[in-house]
């Protein structure tokens, strides 16, 4: 079934959808790692045929590094049809991969001299451009090298309210790049938390998706919650929390069958944009979790080196009341992806991604 927008404008839980189908995670969203602890069952699909066990599991539980997954395999915590396997074991559709994830062990937060691209800073807040590949705060498999470690070095007094995630009031996925605001003081944190609660923070993204999105402006109003069948994923489900995303087409690539979108979100549920776009049948190119296809516009072996999602616009009020706004251009890797896509227009070959 091809989903259509109600009245040509709004996709919603009231629309006629078949749901056959991790971005911004703010204070309203549950901790993404909360659903990972315990036993996780994974079921390889045809697209994952003959993938190495460690690579497959790491892609399915992206909060954990591949090294951490390899240690779980070596410790016998990853079973295939109930049997421990080596890291190099090749998975096959129909098998059940069971991962026993131990409870996370809290580690002391340590400052690290990691460069930050700071766009604005005062005594209360800091705005930065996060690169793809950087984890926001320490988690299992990522004890160091995170944004929090960098912030503690850059601003030693940033430990706000005794939090173990100093300054963090919202997050971006590891492989999502772009703008973030961090609280440096209790005053700054209070102001930001209040604005998130009132949905007055403006958050805009750029996404490349599979398929031609129509109409050229639409709203997706569909609740999001933890997928009851797959606890490391989120899903569009009636029992979830309300979530709203506004889509505007920036450019169509008709020959390639792709669309470049501007996406503004009113809420900040875990994986909101990725889930909403997959729900309407236009998943993010390069998204290994919610884009089930392979090939140039799929979630694996795609034209993009990572999920094509970038936090490009951010606006909020400083604690003193002044409204500020920031913009971040597409990073080089995503610019190069669009260049390859443009070259592919009107041709029969996508070429090879380096």
pLDDT computed for residue 22 by the predictor: 25
Question: Which H or E run contains 72?
Answer: helix 66-74
Q: Are residues 94 and 195 in the same domain?
A: no
Q: Are residues 330 and 290 in the same domain?
A: yes
Residue 105's pLDDT band (boundaries 50, 70, 90)? low
Tell me: pLDDT of 39 over 90: no
In terms of Cβ atoms closer than 10 Å to its own Cβ (0-12, 13-18, 19+), residue 100 is middle
Q: Are residues 90 and 137 in the same domain?
A: no
Half-sphere exposure of 69 (CA within 13 A, CB side): 25
Q: Two tokens at 212?
A: 């031609």
Mind giving me the DSSP string for 44-56?
Answer: --GGGTT-BHHHH
Q: Does any domain span residue 2?
A: no
CA distance 38 to 281: 31
CA proximity to 188, closest of 109, 111, 117, 126: 126
Q: Give the relative orientation of helices 66-74 and 53-60 as an angle to the nearest 10 degrees.
A: 120
Instruction: Tell me which of 173, 175, 221, 287 is the catalytic residue.
Output: 173
CATH for 184: 3.30.2350.10
pLDDT computed for residue 37 by the predictor: 53
Last residue of a domain, one of 49, 66, 101: 101
Q: Does any domain span residue 1?
A: no
Average pLDDT over residues 66-82: 90
Average pLDDT over residues 164-190: 90
pLDDT computed for residue 245 by the predictor: 96
How many domains does one find in the chain? 2
How far apart, in Å, are the Cα atoms of 63 and each of 36, 38, 68, 309?
A: 9, 14, 10, 17
Average pLDDT over residues 307-328: 97
Q: Does any domain span residue 119?
A: yes
Q: Are residues 280 and 134 in the same domain?
A: yes
In terms of Cβ atoms closer than 10 Å to its own Cβ (0-12, 13-18, 19+), residue 299 is buried
CB 106 within 8 A of CB 164: yes
Give the number of other CB atoms < 10 A from CB of residue 110. Answer: 12
Last residue of a domain, one of 77, 101, 125: 101
Q: Does any domain span residue 350?
A: no
Last residue of a domain, one of 52, 72, 101: 101
Q: Are residues 20 and 42 in the same domain?
A: no
Tell me: pLDDT of 104 over 90: no
Q: Are residues 146 and 282 in the same domain?
A: yes
pLDDT computed for residue 302 by the predictor: 93
Most confidently predicted of 59-68, 264-273, 323-332: 323-332
CA distance 101 to 308: 29
Q: Are residues 217 and 193 in the same domain?
A: yes
- What residues contact residue 118 under an 8 Å CB cut-off, 6+ apart? 126, 127, 128, 154
First to last CA, the chain: 35
CA distance 346 to 127: 41
Pick the range with the lowest mean pLDDT from 168-172, 220-224, 295-299: 168-172
Q: Two tokens at 31?
A: 């901790």
Q: Does any domain span residue 349?
A: no
Q: Are residues 77 and 199 in the same domain?
A: no
Mean pLDDT computed over every residue of the chain: 83
Q: For 55-92, give one letter per residue: b (16+ CB within 10 A) or e.
A: bbbbbbbbbbbeebbbbbbeeebbbbeeeebebebebe
Beta bridge partners of 253: 258
Q: Are residues 61 and 161 in the same domain?
A: no
- Residue bearing tokens 């098998």: 95
CA distance 40 to 276: 23
- Residue 252's domain comprises 10-31+106-344
pLDDT computed for residue 264 by the predictor: 97
Q: Are residues 89 and 140 in the same domain?
A: no
Residue 61's pLDDT band (boundaries 50, 70, 90)? confident
Q: Does any domain span residue 126?
A: yes
Q: Does any domain span residue 353?
A: no
Residue 103's pLDDT band (boundaries 50, 70, 90)? low
CATH for 83: 3.10.290.10
Q: Does any domain span residue 5?
A: no
pLDDT digits (tens, 9 = 90+) for 134-176: 988 876 666 788 999 999 999 998 866 556 678 888 989 999 9
- What residues contact residue 247 under an 8 Å CB cut-off, 6+ apart? 213, 217, 218, 219, 220, 261, 262, 263
Q: Are residues 114 and 73 in the same domain?
A: no
Q: Two tokens at 16?
A: 């006629």
287 an active-site residue?
A: no
Q: Are residues 124 and 49 in the same domain?
A: no
Q: Two tokens at 247?
A: 């889509």
């Amino acid at each position: 079934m091809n989903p259509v927008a109600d009245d040509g404008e709004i996709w919603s839980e009231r629309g006629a959808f078949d749901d056959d189908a991790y971005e911004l995670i703010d204070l309203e969203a549950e901790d993404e790692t909360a659903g990972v602890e315990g036993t996780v069952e994974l079921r390889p699909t045809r697209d994952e045929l003959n993938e190495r066990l460690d690579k497959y599991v790491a892609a399915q539980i992206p909060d954990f590094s591949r090294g951490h997954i390899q240690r779980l395999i070596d410790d016998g915590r990853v079973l295939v049809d109930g049997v421990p396997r080596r890291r190099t074991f090749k998975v096959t559709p129909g098998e059940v991969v069971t991962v026993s994830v131990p409870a996370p062990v809290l580690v002391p937060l340590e400052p690290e001299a990691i460069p930050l691209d700071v766009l604005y800073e005062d005594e209360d807040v800091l705005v930065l451009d996060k690169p793809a590949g950087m984890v926001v705060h320490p988690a299992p498999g990522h004890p160091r090298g995170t944004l929090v470690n960098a912030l503690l070095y850059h601003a030693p007094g940033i430990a706000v309210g005794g939090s173990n995630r100093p300054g963090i009031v919202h997050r971006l996925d590891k492989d999502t790049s772009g703008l973030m605001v961090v609280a440096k003081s209790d005053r700054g944190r209070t102001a930001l938390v209040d604005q998130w609660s009132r949905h007055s923070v403006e958050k805009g993204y750029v996404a490349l998706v599979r398929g031609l999105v129509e109409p050229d402006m639409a709203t997706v109003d569909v609740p999001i919650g933890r997928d009851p069948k797959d606890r490391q994923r989120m899903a569009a489900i009636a029992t979830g929390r309300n979530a709203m995303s506004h889509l505007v087409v920036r450019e169509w690539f008709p020959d390639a069958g792709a669309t470049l979108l501007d996406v503004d979100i009113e809420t900040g549920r875990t994986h909101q944009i990725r889930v909403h776009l997959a729900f309407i049948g236009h998943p993010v190119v390069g998204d290994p979790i919610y884009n089930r296809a392979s090939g140039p516009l799929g979630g694996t072996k795609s034209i993009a080196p990572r999920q094509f999602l970038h936090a490009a616009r951010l606006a909020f009020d400083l604690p003193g009341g002044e409204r500020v706004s920031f913009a971040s251009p597409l990073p080089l890797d995503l610019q190069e992806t669009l260049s390859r896509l443009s070259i592919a227009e009107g041709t029969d070959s996508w070429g090879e991604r380096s």
